[in-house]
Chain A
Amino acid sequence: MDGWGVLLTLSVALFFGSAVVAAARPKLGYATSAVASALLLAASVEALVGGPIQGAAWSGPLGDPESLALNGLSAFFALAASLVWVATAVYSVTYDERRSPWLAVCFSLTLGAIALLVASSSLLLFLIGWETMTIASYGMILQATGRRGRVFSAAFVFLVFGEASTLFVILAVAGLRVGTGTFAEVPYVAAGGLSTLVFVAALLGFALKMGVAPFHMSEWLPIAHSSAPSNASAVLSSTLTLAGAYGLFRVLSLLGAPPLWWGAVTLGIGAVSVLLGALFAAVSEHTKGLPAYSTIENNGLILVALGIALLARAEGLETLYVFALFAAFFQALAHAVAKTALFLAAGWAEHATGTFDLTSIAGGVKDGDRGALLGTLSATLSLSAAPPLAGFVAEWMVLESLFQSYQFVPAWVQFLGLVAGAAVALGAGLIVIAMVKFLGFGLLWNPSAARPARRSRGLSVPIAAVGAVVLGLGVGAPWVLRFLAPAVSSFAGVPAIAPVGSLLSVPNGWSILSGSPFGILSPPMVPITIGIGACVAAGYYLLGRRPGPSVRRSPVWMAGSPPGRPGEVYTSFGYGTGLRLMMATILGTREIRSSAGAVSEAGLATPVPYSVDLEVLDVFKLFYDDLVRGGEAVAAALKGWVMTGHLGRYLAYILIVVLAVVIYVAAAT
């Protein structure tokens, strides 16, 4: 254990220490978490640049060696998570003004648990981190404001999905333990039933945590329904789902060459998630429900890239395999960072307006901090894939991977790639609507009813910083990819070279190449080109300027009517209604009218006052509601003769189980 190892061990310990500090002094707890995050960030950068780090090691309870360590793969996820945490923890120092320290305690615990599971070198420690993360996050959601019943039910939904996820993850880990005989990270390359079991269990377990379709209830519902605190939402949506992605990558890195259908299933789930996530985000009116849905879309993109990578590996397409992995990693990084800014901005808007409802906010943050606005602008543009930001590069890489699905030999895989490509492209279009809504109606737009925001540097500086990181990641994408190469090598088990090169007069290494003779993109050239154009325009403007006032302010032209009368402004809801009506079959859109006034004479189209509401349904939520009702019915039926409340009968159950285990063990040995 060298100096970096000590740093890594210290940072993980400091997270748990900050939970203790937070119990007494919440703000100090957040500050300590920020320091721990910064230490983890430094350690993960070193692990990517200077090679794997070995932290504290000890002997585990089951005899396996346990240790904290960062290899390429875990260092990447630690990097993405700690970047987010630094900003979120600093933000929380100002944001969290509640008297109870529980939010701060659970916040630090969640961060520590994720750090632990990422840095764990054995799967047992991973499981411990995983479960701690679920419980601590449940604690954070419970700190939400709003009706208690609603908060409890949302937190309960989170816990149910979380525990279901844990069950599947335990199953996958158990499968690996059976296969390799140890919890340590030993590759299990044998093909067959056990591999399949591990893959299916891991995909289900980690997809549940990532909140992709059809498990997206686990992602958006606790965040939106309970109005969870914004810092908690940022951690949940950016890094908890990232932990899910990490787990999936980690288990896959231990399994051998994947059969074709693994990639196909992953790709299919990802494509459906992209489409549904984007669609629901576009019709969401909740400043946190909207980014939560967008998370589903982005996690779908990660799965799409991973699916293409698995297919390429099964087909033996080395170049595409590596490129798709780079796409998946870059997408994960770009999303985690940008999404953080959105949740922090939602909290900022809530501070100013007291609501999470986009239609009520209606652009109500007036004279807001310019830095925070620019940070949010950068993040929303990135999530709607506008060049040269990080989200654009990631989306381009995912689409480039999909374009190359023509290389797959079986026709059905080609067709799947085609359909998935269409879904991803459609999702990319739909998410723009969502982001315009978030930025336009949530922050930028200023009708007369706008309320001035409470300026607070503690809130706006982290948002601005995250926005700057998003811009930097996008412009510097070729260098970031080179930086990420150890992570990809670590996962792929082959030396991976970042897909960068040159084109025409663009300097070598400034461009991203997708496949040897395929697409090319140079993110740094975008701001350079825009900059040159802006310089020319600015020069023209400055040289041609005449003395006198050049700025004229006038009220907004409202087609000849007096501007901005209350009730005459476009609502966020109205902006999304076109989609609600077009996609009525998927969204289950229905209009509910109630007449408030007198009823007209029969049969005549005479107007009467009425109220109207346009409702959108989530078919999956209906499915889960039915499932819950069915489960309750079964439980009620079983209660009568299985769980009678007789102690003797319960003892008999235990006896039967013990006997069954004894017989099984005896038969096995």
Chain B
Amino acid sequence: MSGPAWTVTPAERYELSAEHALAYVPPDGAFALYNDYAQRRSVLVPTPSPVRPEDVVATWRDQLVGPPPRRLAPQETVEGYGTFTFPYGPVSMGVPESGRFDVITYGERILELGPLGGYKSRHVLNALAGATIEDAALRIERLAGNVSASHVAAFLAAAESARGESVPRSELWVRALAQELQRVYNHVHVLARIAEAASQNVGSAQSHALAEEILRLQGRAFGHRWLFGALLPGGPARHLDPPDRKALDRELQRCAREFDALWELFLDSRTFIDRIQSTCPVDRASAVHWGGVGPTLRACGVRWDDRLRVPGPPYNDLFLALPEERDGDALARLLVRVQEVRASFLLIEQMLDRWPPGPGSPEPASSPVLPGRGLGRVEAPSGDLVYDVSVANGKLASVSARTPSQANWPLFALGMRNAVFTDFHFALESFGLLFAETDR
């Protein structure tokens, strides 16, 4: 594919050049999506050389026989005396998922880090053509269980936009509640993982316990610990009655207090802070250049959050703090997450207080970008998540997504240059990266 004549951020150019063309370039091959940070919007631009149908078939066939590992971030070859590639993963202790890292090193210090995906490809999105929205939602929420609510919400928004449907107001509130709960869970989980890597055993155990409590609350409120099936079209599995809301509110306030106390404990541990301070720094220019999203971006001083981009219900009715840090290191990313946990607790408190009494007025979905094709966009725990859905005759024609992990892998790889090997886990966990989100 020849280089486009206009600005497409490198993360996306990178994705375009990867063989996983279906993920980003729709079958008609006419458009590609990119983030316009200056205008705070996402834009579809025509691609100069559309993917030909035979290319798509070839891609499909390759994927069915098992694609070769593919690079998730740019990586350069390094020469030098004693320099070698240390293969880390896909089945190694310390690599949490099936994914591999090519560590180019002369020992101890990481010169280049190349995350390789493809080991976990399940072809979930590619296999959705022809499925109904309900079937598709069931599969999409299983793509990455930790962030199921965000994926389903983004997918549903895109599908509704493609079909020009309106959505009951209460539906949007339920989706938002589920996403905020899951955001709290994910951020606490990241904290627990970093504490684990730093051998902060007490802090790690307490964080895991707190994360487990959030999971149980999700189960009580939505009927499933991982919120599977909770946001299916046609309404949530369970409606929140006033007593339920009151109980949930009480429990969450207790969790919020627990979290604050826990974070105070972490702040007291100088060794913990030392371990993540100035670890894997990402500078602001690189973050913007490579199209970073979420806490990674906000930790470098870029105030960008999809919930505030075009605020729709319920965020247009609620107070939402937008945290920002400037150092761009693992500590800054963690600080952003901690503040986001507090912001989410506050959001949930407001939501449960002002819960709409009935289905409410139907909210029109955002207008489709093309006839039969819509974009859905939410702020997932690790950042901006976009779904691109085409429908034909009431069935799905194609589904593709740009996940936050996809956007942040290059920044992780660049931040790790010149780090020592022991920084690896702190850095990886601080980005909240998931191979499951890139191997779809």
Asked if B106 and A573 make an inter-chain contact with CB atoms under 8 angstroms apart, the answer reads yes
B76 touches A607 (CB 8 A): yes
In angstroms, Cα B77 to Cα A572, docked, is 20
Stretch at the interface among A38-46, A75-83, A609-617: A609-617
Q: Which residues from chain B contact A574 at a C-beta distance below 8 Å?
A: 82, 84, 86, 105-108
Question: Given the complex of chains A and B, what is the CA–CA distance between A578 and B89 in angstroms?
Answer: 22
Interface residues on A, range: 35 or more
Nearest-CB residue, chain B, relative to A560: B91
Report which of A561, A581, A608, A613 forms a contact with B81, defined as CB distance below 8 A. Answer: A613
Q: Is B92's CB within 8 Å of the partner chain A?
A: yes
Cα–Cα, bound, A570→B109 (Å)? 13
Q: Are A572 and B283 in contact (CB under 8 A)?
A: no
A575 x B84 contact (CB < 8 A): no
Q: Does B17 contact A (CB under 8 A)?
A: no
Q: How far is the CA of A609 from the CA of B83 in the complex (A)?
A: 14
- B78 proximity list for chain A (CB < 8 A): 609-612
* B128 lies within 8 A of chain A by Cβ: no
- State how many angstroms separate the Cβ of A583 from the closest Cβ of chain B: 12
Closest to B420 in A: A581
- Residue A648 interfacial (CB < 8 Å): no
Chain B residues within 8 Å of A608, by CB: 76
Bound-state CA distance A612–B285 (Å) is: 25
8 Å CB contacts to A: which residues of B59-95? 74-92
Q: Quick check: B420 and A568 within 8 Å, CB to CB?
A: no
Which residues from chain A contact B220 at a C-beta distance below 8 Å?
A: none
Verify B92–A568 contact, CB threshold 8 A: no
**B85 neighbours in A (Cβ, 8 Å):** 567-568
Check if A359 sits within 8 Å of B289, measured CB to CB. Answer: no
- Chain B residue numbers with a CB within 8 Å of A355 are none
Residue from B84, B100, B111, B285 within 8 A of A567 (CB atoms): B84
A606 CA / B10 CA spacing, docked (Å): 10
Q: Do B82 and A614 touch (CB < 8 A)? A: yes
The answer to whether B86 and A570 touch across the interface, beta carbons within 8 angstroms, is yes
Q: What band does the interface of chain B fall in when counting residues whose beta carbon is under 8 Å from A? A: 35 or more
Contact of A605 with B107 in the complex, beta carbons under 8 Å:
no
- Give bound CA distance, A580 to B79, whole Å: 19
Q: Is A544 an interface residue (CB 8 A)?
A: no
Whether the Cβ atoms of A581 and B84 lie closer than 8 Å is no
| CB-defined contacts of B100 to chain A, threshold 8 Å | 559-561
- Whether A609 pairs with B89 at a CB distance below 8 angstroms is no
A577 touches B89 (CB 8 A): no
CA–CA, A316 and B366, complex, Å: 97
Q: In the assembly, what is the distance between CA of A60 and CA of B212, in Å?
A: 95
A604 within 8 A of B: yes
Q: CB-nearest residue of chain A relative to B79? A: A611
Provide the residues of chain A in CB contact with B224, threshold 8 Å: none
A605 contacts B414, CB within 8 Å? yes
Partner among B107, B109, B119 whose Cβ is within 8 Å of the Cβ of A575: B107
The answer to whether B84 and A560 touch across the interface, beta carbons within 8 angstroms, is no
With a cutoff of 8 Å between Cβ atoms, the chain A residues found around residue B286 in the complex are: 604-606
A571 x B82 contact (CB < 8 A): yes
Chain A residue with minimal CB distance to B111? Answer: A612
Contact with A along B1-23 (1 / 0, CB 8 A): 00000000010000000000000
Name the interface residues of A28-69: CB closer than 8 Å to any CB of B.
none
- Closest residue of chain A to B81 (Cβ to Cβ) is A613
Question: How many Å from the CB of A364 to the closest CB on chain B?
Answer: 15
Give the distance in Å from the alpha carbon of A612 to the alpha carbon of B418 in the complex: 12
CB distance from B155 to the nearest CB of A (A): 31
Given contacts A559-B91, A568-B86, contact A613 B420 (CB under 8 A): no
Q: Are B89 and A570 in touch, CB under 8 angstroms? A: no
Given contacts A559-B90, A573-B107, A577-B109, contact A607 B84 (CB under 8 A): no
Given A574-B106, A581-B108, A604-B289, also A611-B89 (CB < 8 A): no
Quick check: A561 and B108 within 8 Å, CB to CB? no
Q: Is B141 an interface residue (CB 8 A)?
A: no
A573 and B75 contact, Cβ closer than 8 Å, known pairs A604-B289, A605-B283: no
Question: Which residue of the partner chain, among A560, A605, A610, A614, contacts B106 with CB atoms under 8 Å?
Answer: A614
Whether B87 lies near A559 (C-beta < 8 A) is: yes
Is A568 a contact of B84 with CB atoms below 8 Å? yes
With a cutoff of 8 Å between Cβ atoms, the chain B residues found around residue A571 in the complex are: 82-84, 106-107
Judge whether A472 is part of the interface by a CB distance below 8 angstroms: no
Q: A569-B84, A574-B82 are in contact. Are A605 and B417 (CB under 8 A)?
A: yes
8 A Cβ contacts from A302-348 to B: none
Tell me the residues in window 98-148 of chain B with beta carbons closer than 8 Å to chain A beta carbons. Answer: 98, 100, 105-109, 111-112, 119
Contact between B80 and A561 (Cβ–Cβ < 8 Å)? no
Q: Are B87 and A572 in contact (CB under 8 A)?
A: no
Check if A581 sits within 8 Å of B417, measured CB to CB: no
**Which of B74, B79, B81, B285: most chain A CB closer than 10 A?**
B81
Mask for A611-641, Cβ within 8 A of B = 1, else 0? Answer: 1111000000000000000000000000000
Residue of B whose beta carbon sits closest to that of A591: B109
Nearest-CB residue, chain B, relative to A595: B76
- A603 contacts partner chain B, Cβ-Cβ < 8 Å: yes
Complex: A596 Cα to B77 Cα, angstroms: 10
Contact indicator A612/B74 (Cβ below 8 Å): no
Contacts A559-B92, A612-B111; A568 near B82 (Cβ below 8 A): no
Tell whether A612 pairs with B108 under 8 Å between CB atoms, given A559-B89, A604-B285. Answer: no
Q: Does A400 contact B (CB under 8 A)?
A: no
B91 to chain A, nearest CB (A): 4
- Kindly state whether residue A395 has any CB partner on chain B within 8 Å: no
* Minimum C-beta distance from A592 to chain B (A): 9
B114 and chain A: residue at smallest CB distance: A607
Q: How far apart sit A19 and B202, CA to CA, in the bound complex (Å)?
A: 74
Q: Tell me which residues across on chain A come within 8 A of B82, comparing CB atoms.
A: 285, 359, 571-574, 577, 614
A359 contact from B81, B88, B108, B119, Cβ within 8 A = B81
Chain B residues 189 to 241 lying within 8 A of chain A, measured CB to CB, are none
Q: A560-B100, A577-B107, A611-B78 are in contact. List 10 more A-B contacts (CB 8 A).
A: A561-B89, A569-B84, A570-B86, A577-B108, A606-B10, A607-B74, A611-B80, A612-B79, A614-B81, A614-B106
Give the 7 A-B residue pairs with the shortest CB-CB distance, closest first: A573-B82, A577-B107, A574-B107, A560-B91, A612-B80, A607-B76, A611-B79
**Can you list 25 pairs linking A and B with CB atoms under 8 Å apart?**
A559-B87, A559-B88, A560-B91, A560-B119, A561-B87, A567-B85, A568-B85, A568-B87, A571-B83, A572-B82, A574-B82, A575-B107, A578-B107, A596-B79, A605-B285, A605-B414, A605-B417, A606-B286, A607-B75, A607-B112, A607-B414, A609-B78, A611-B78, A612-B106, A614-B82
Which residue numbers of A lie inside 8 Å of B, CB to CB? 285, 359, 558-561, 567-578, 580-581, 596-597, 601, 603-614
